[in-house]
Amino acid sequence: MSLLTTQARALLRPGQTPAATPSPTGSPARPFVPGTAARLAADLATSGRQRLADAAAADGGMARLLAAVGTAQLLQSSSLAAAAGAPDPAAARLGPVPAVQSPAAGSCPAATASPSAAPFRSSASAAADSGLPDSGLPGADLPDALAALVRTELETVYGYQVALTRLDDAAARSAAAQLARHEALVTAAEALSRLHCAPVPPREPGYALDPSFLAAPGPGLGALEAASLPAYGDLVALSDGETRKWAISGLLGAARRTVLWGAAPGPVPGLDADPASFPTLPAD
């Protein structure tokens, strides 16, 4: 239950009373009653999906927090169901990366959008919404978040290309499928950048990889996937509408791939914060 406790602490704002705090599973706080692992996995999956739906409509930093908690709960649900030998209630496959329609040349829809849409928000204001630390990008806004994500995905594509030459047959087949997904994510992220009139980072011919990556490309891919989580979390916090929904889906996908390659996404994937800094739950 330690991960659920961490998520409950994350959802508790400084100074907030327990009665006003949603529980990690979306229901009022109540004494824990032991149940079957399969039932707990199902409850976690239901809660996780609700947290992701809530994140799509929340403000700034709270959206990132809800997306992080929802993603973690879906991962926990899958892990618990697997350990119990039960069907995975969070096993819904991610569909193809949604195509993003680039704007016509010379047009800039984001620039003429209604001011109430507030498409560009700083990382400081997004963090203030949730009372949690910001992303580590002082003054970052939507164009910054999109550019960072494009660069992250391009580096990940390169990592997969290198790893494919060093993995055995089964792992190589999995890596090839994930490489195709990342190439689609790059294309979509670049199209979103153009849609929001944000500069698109140039594609580099290559990237420096740590020698440990070349020696053990499987764990290296897990590290690359884990490194992409804060970039998706930032985009969740700094965007809205369809762009945020795309970012939430991207966060969940990156977290699942992190686990696939044996890396740890952390208790709140996409939230670059130390769980020790979260408010303390009151004693019973």
CB contact at 8 A, 109 and 132:
no
Of 138-142, 156-160, 272-276, which gets the smallest average pLDDT? 272-276
pLDDT of residue 106: 58
CA distance 275 to 266: 10
Confidence of residue 30 (pLDDT cuts 50, 70, 90): very low
With a cut of 90, say whether residue 259 has pLDDT above it.
Answer: yes
pLDDT in tens, 151-199: 999 999 999 999 999 999 999 999 999 999 999 999 999 999 999 999 9
Identify which has the larger pLDDT, 231 or 129. Answer: 231
- Give first-to-last CA distance, the chain, whole Å: 16
Task: Give the residue-averaged pLDDT of 81-110.
Answer: 74
Over the stretch 96-120, which tens digit does the pLDDT of each residue have? 777 787 666 556 654 433 333 334 4
Residue-wise DSSP of 151-205: HHHHHHHHHHHHHHTTS-HHHHHHHHHHHHHHHHHHHHHHHHHHHTT-PPPPPPS
pLDDT cut 70: percent of the chain above it: 69
Give the whole-angstrom CA distance, residue 30 versus residue 49.
21
Q: What is the CA radius of gyration of the chain?
A: 19
Domains of the chain (ranges plus CATH)?
Answer: 2-96+117-277 (1.20.1260.10)
d(CA 185, CA 179): 10
Q: According to DSSP H, which parts of 58-119 are helical?
A: 60-84
**What one-letter code names the amino acid at 61?**
G
Residue 230 DSSP one-character state: H
- In this structure, is the dihedral angle defined by the CA atoms of residues 42, 47, 48 and 50, taken in order, positive or negative? positive
Determine if the pTM surpasses 0.85. Answer: no
Distance CA(257)–CA(156), nearest Å, equals 12
Q: Reduce the secondary structure of 115-138 to three states and give it as a string.
A: HHHCCCCCHHHHHHHHCCCCCCCC
Report, as an integer, the average pLDDT of 216-241. 97
